[in-house]
Amino acid sequence: MVGLLPWQIVATADRPVWATDLSAVGSTVPTEPRDRARLLTFHHRLEFVNDDLLSVTFLSRNLNHRMTTSEGPGGDYVWMTALVNVHSGEIQRTKVWANASDVFDLAIVDRNRLAVLDRWGIRLYSDTFEQLGYLKHTSDTVATVGPSPNRKIFADLNYSEWSLDVSPTLKTLAVLHRGGSVTAVGLVDAIHLEPRNRFTTPSFFSSTISDEHFVYTTFDSAARRIARMHVRNLIGSDTADSQKIAIPNCNSPRFLTSDLLIVTGMCSGLFLIDTAGHQVATRHMDFRSDSLRPQNGQRVASSAEPSRNGDKLAVTEFRYVQGSAWRDTGPRSADVTIVVYDAALKPVFELLCSEGKVLAYSLSPDGTLLAVTVDHKLSLYRLTPQ
């Protein structure tokens, strides 16, 4: 196990390679409390399609407000995706997603394709937005399992939500339908959009997938201080949970490669582990692991986004401000720093985001570029000399 000194930065960013104003193509942020609570858990979605093309998805005002139909959504906001040239920052094309409301997600899969989830199913698109395939949702009982919520309308239904996840190889897609008590997980061949397997688990806090494993986190103690990662085999006859790994407070695992996970999420550091639970590298923050929440001024790692080749990972880190809402969608923007680490958890780049709220960030497939959206501004930074 490799131990590293806390907080040493090698390089900092002065200015981006280019910056694009997304409000020019309709990007907006809901201001109504109901819409913010319903839609802003998604924020922006920012992903590199390949080395030349960047995909950014955001909310836009619906100019055709009406009843929702099969041809299009009728709410106040619609989801829109813009494809941006990585080299110039020019927006090449945009698309408004029909059938998308609070049920929406998007993932980049193999062969430069976009998998888009809406309330009817999953659709597969090329990098020119040509539809290549469609898979209808499988019916389940997620919304009816467990105790019903205490309300008069639809008292027999629980709240549920849909999301997508994709393996590091971009070949396996997980379709998640999460309810109050159980979660249905559907595995899909991302190349041909063909269903492979389906199973249910108890509802969890977060999850990640590789071609061979599905990992999810739950909190075992009443104080919610111990997050336990459950590792489920996806290959072979034994598909039950094979490992249970306990790491205090950490609740957000992500597969860095098919064999290694980076674990963070409101905890005392970054942990690089394998699926057997062996720690390969660690990097500690000043947030005590035995504390339920950080103290005022302590540095916390929030989430991690790895590059596709597994060589780099970008992590949002911030100084906790006492009195801020712990369960908000994010910390105060003035406290957020995006730090890029190499595979040994050595910091190589940092970006202080002090002029707005960080909505999304993504590393290029080779780990040499960092794209960031702050409010409506999309910027690209180079991590290595040109």
Helix (H) or strand (E) holding 33: helix 33-39
Of 50, 52, 60, which Cα lies nearest the Cα of 26?
60
pLDDT in tens, 19-41: 999 999 998 877 776 666 555 55
Q: What counts of helices (H) and strands (E) characterise the chain? A: 1, 29
State both tokens at 118: 């809406």
Query: Per-residue pLDDT for 237 more than 80?
Result: no
The confidence score (pLDDT) of residue 67 equals 47
What percentage of the chain has pLDDT greater than the value 90?
Answer: 44
Q: Give residue 265's pLDDT band: very low, low, confident or very high (50, 70, 90).
A: confident
Please tell me the least confidently modeled range out of 145-154, 327-336, 364-373. Answer: 327-336
Helix (H) or strand (E) holding 38: helix 33-39
Query: Per-residue pLDDT for 42 more than 80?
Result: no
Mean pLDDT estimate for the chain: 81
pLDDT in tens, 317-332: 877 666 554 444 344 4
Q: Is 36 helix (H, G, I), strand (E, B) or coil?
A: helix
Higher model confidence: residue 325 or residue 138?
Answer: 138
Query: Per-residue pLDDT for 198 more than 90?
Result: yes
- 2-102+205-382 under CATH 2.40.10, yes or no: no
The confidence score (pLDDT) of residue 153 equals 52
The confidence score (pLDDT) of residue 305 equals 93
What percentage of the chain has pLDDT greater than the value 70?
Answer: 73
Q: Give residue 223's pLDDT band: very low, low, confident or very high (50, 70, 90).
A: low
pLDDT in tens, 141-150: 887 777 655 5
Mean pLDDT of 156-177: 88
Buried b (16+ CB within 10 A) or exposed e, 312-351: bbbbbbbbbeeeeeeeeebbebebbbbbbbebebebebbb
Query: How many whole angstroms separate alpha carbon 21 and alpha carbon 24?
Result: 6
Of 253, 214, 206, 254, which Cα lies nearest the Cα of 234?
214
Query: How many whole angstroms separate alpha carbon 147 and alpha carbon 36?
Result: 27
Q: CA 51 from chain center: how many Å?
A: 20
